């Protein structure tokens, strides 16, 4: 049997055919085109599924399920995308709409949870009892797995690490608070810190990478220039990792998980990021060495969302 995992992102809808064991057999993608009627996006998803079936020379009857990872709040009981701000979706009946094309069960999950499920089953946290995954992208996404299952909290809103305070009284956040991790630990934040450092230092290698325009500095340029020893980039990267380490340290204090995974765009900096964060986690608590979780990079990259959606049950 074939499982289908659909990862609905801000720019792309990725669709994968996956085995029961979590192996990706084939994948297809279409532009999200956010703002279109949802029916048009569902049409595109169904079209990708048909494409994959044709490529695998399989019939629709071979599908055991379709899982959909969505960027927002979902209600899997009712088969609804309750609120996906970036897609402009409120109470969209995803299960019913996809059910018009395929007769198999359709399951829904939040995209960050789907990615964590994949890492927990076949990725960097495979075999671990507990895992917190932090995704460093446009914003800070996160998910908590306890005993292999997503911890949703008693009202379904647990694991919103992006809106935990890392700088009391800090930058204003869209959520209404200030000093949120989203504003200090996302790729967006790293790029902003790089831009600021360019203005302060003036002679940064980041400026050359950005064609002389500070506004064109990206998170990737900051990590590359920092790795090469650029002073301005090192200052920005140092601030960034300090805030990220504060977030990770809070997570450890709260949950003592077996592993903390860092994923998303900034995690492509690899060991350079990981080592910097690890070095900033206090090794002692009340004068005693404390047991720390493994802190590691997510392993499945862009495929995690698709694979995790396909492994929903
Ligand atoms: Zn916030």
Ligand 1 centre to CA of 234 (Å) is 26
Q: How far apart are CA 64 and CA 19, in angstroms?
A: 10
Instruction: Say if residues 262 and 273 touch (Cβ distance below 8 Å).
Output: yes
The answer to whether residues 83 and 199 belong to one domain is no
Ligand 1 centre to CA of 184 (Å) is 10
Ligand 1 centre to CA of 207 (Å) is 29
Ligand 1 centre to CA of 247 (Å) is 13
The answer to whether residues 204 and 257 belong to one domain is yes
Sheet strands side by side (includes 80-84): 73-75, 80-84, 89-92
The H or E element spanning position 197 is helix 187-201
The answer to whether residues 43 and 110 belong to one domain is yes
**Closest to 18 (Cα-Cα) out of 305, 310, 313, 299:** 310
Q: How far apart are CA 255 and CA 273, in angstroms?
A: 22
Ligand 1 centre to CA of 217 (Å) is 23
The H or E element spanning position 227 is helix 219-227
The answer to whether residues 98 and 140 belong to one domain is no
40 bridge partner residues: none
The answer to whether residues 151 and 268 belong to one domain is yes
Ligand 1 centre to CA of 135 (Å) is 15
Ligand 1 centre to CA of 136 (Å) is 14
Q: For position 165, which CATH number holds?
A: 3.30.420.40
Ligand 1 centre to CA of 180 (Å) is 5
Count of Cβ atoms closer than 10 Å to residue 78 Cβ? 12
Q: What is the pLDDT of residue 155?
A: 85
| pLDDT tens across the length of the chain (313 residues) | 999 999 998 889 999 999 999 999 999 999 999 889 999 999 999 999 999 999 999 999 999 999 999 998 999 999 999 999 889 999 999 999 999 999 999 999 999 999 999 999 999 999 999 999 999 998 899 999 998 899 999 988 888 899 999 999 999 998 899 999 999 999 999 999 999 999 999 789 999 999 999 999 999 999 999 999 999 999 999 999 999 999 999 999 999 999 999 999 999 999 999 999 999 999 888 888 989 999 999 999 999 999 999 999 9
Ligand 1 centre to CA of 219 (Å) is 20
**Closest to 267 (Cα-Cα) out of 298, 307, 229:** 298
Ligand 1 centre to CA of 296 (Å) is 25
The answer to whether residues 132 and 174 belong to one domain is yes
Ligand 1 centre to CA of 168 (Å) is 12
| 148 half-sphere exposure, CB direction, 13 A CA radius | 8
The answer to whether residues 71 and 136 belong to one domain is no
Q: How far apart are CA 53 and CA 304, in angstroms?
A: 21
Q: What is the residue range of 60's domain?
A: 2-119+303-310
Ligand 1 centre to CA of 140 (Å) is 10
Ligand 1 centre to CA of 178 (Å) is 6
The answer to whether residues 50 and 133 belong to one domain is no
Q: What is the pLDDT of residue 286?
A: 83
Ligand 1 centre to CA of 188 (Å) is 14
Buried b (16+ CB within 10 A) or exposed e, 35-48: eeebeebbbbbbeb
261 bridge partner residues: 133, 296
Ligand 1 centre to CA of 192 (Å) is 17
The answer to whether residues 155 and 82 belong to one domain is no
Q: Is 262 helix (H, G, I), strand (E, B) or coil?
A: strand
Ligand 1 centre to CA of 138 (Å) is 13
The answer to whether residues 139 and 99 belong to one domain is no
The answer to whether residues 95 and 133 belong to one domain is no
Q: pLDDT tens digits for 149-199?
A: 999 999 888 888 999 999 999 999 988 999 999 999 999 999 999 999 999
**Closest to 134 (Cα-Cα) out of 29, 257, 12:** 257
Q: What is the pLDDT of residue 202?
A: 79
The answer to whether residues 69 and 156 belong to one domain is no
Ligand 1 centre to CA of 162 (Å) is 6
Ligand 1 centre to CA of 266 (Å) is 19
Q: How far apart are CA 5 and CA 28, in angstroms?
A: 11
């Amino acid at each position: 049997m074939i499982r289908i995992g659909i990862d609905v992102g801000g720019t792309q809808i990725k669709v994968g055919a996956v085995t029961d064991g979590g192996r990706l057999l084939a994948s297809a993608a279409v532009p999200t085109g956010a703002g279109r009627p949802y029916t048009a996006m569902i049409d595109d998803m169904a079209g990708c599924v048909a494409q994959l079936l044709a490529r695998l020379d399989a019939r629709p009857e071979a599908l055991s399920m379709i899982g959909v990872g969505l960027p927002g709040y979902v209600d899997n009981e009712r088969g609804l995308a309750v609120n996906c701000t970036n897609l402009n979706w409120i109470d969209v009946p995803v299960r019913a709409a996809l059910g018009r094309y395929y007769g198999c069960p359709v399951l829904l999950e939040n995209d960050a949870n789907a990615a964590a499920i994949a890492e927990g089953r076949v990725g960097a946290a495979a075999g671990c009892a507990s895992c917190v995954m932090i995704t460093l992208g446009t914003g800070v996404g996160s998910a908590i797995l306890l005993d292999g299952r997503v911890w949703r909290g008693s009202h379904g809103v647990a694991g919103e690490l992006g809106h935990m305070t890392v700088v009391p009284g800090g930058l204003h956040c869209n959520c209404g608070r200030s000093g949120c991790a989203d504003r200090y630990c996302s790729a967006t934040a790293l790029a902003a810190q790089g831009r600021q450092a360019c203005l302060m230092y003036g002679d940064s290698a980041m400026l050359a990478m950005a064609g002389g325009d500070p506004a064109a500095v990206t998170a990737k340029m900051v990590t590359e220039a920092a790795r090469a020893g650029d002073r301005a980039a090192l200052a920005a990267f140092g601030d960034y990792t300090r805030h990220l380490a504060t977030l990770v340290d809070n997570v450890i204090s709260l949950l003592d998980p077996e592993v903390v995974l860092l994923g998303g765009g900034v995690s492509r900096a690899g060991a350079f990021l990981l080592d910097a964060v690890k070095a900033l986690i206090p090794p002692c608590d009340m004068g005693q060495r404390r047991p720390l979780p493994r802190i590691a990079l997510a392993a499945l990259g862009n495929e995690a969302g698709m694979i995790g959606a396909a492994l929903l049950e």
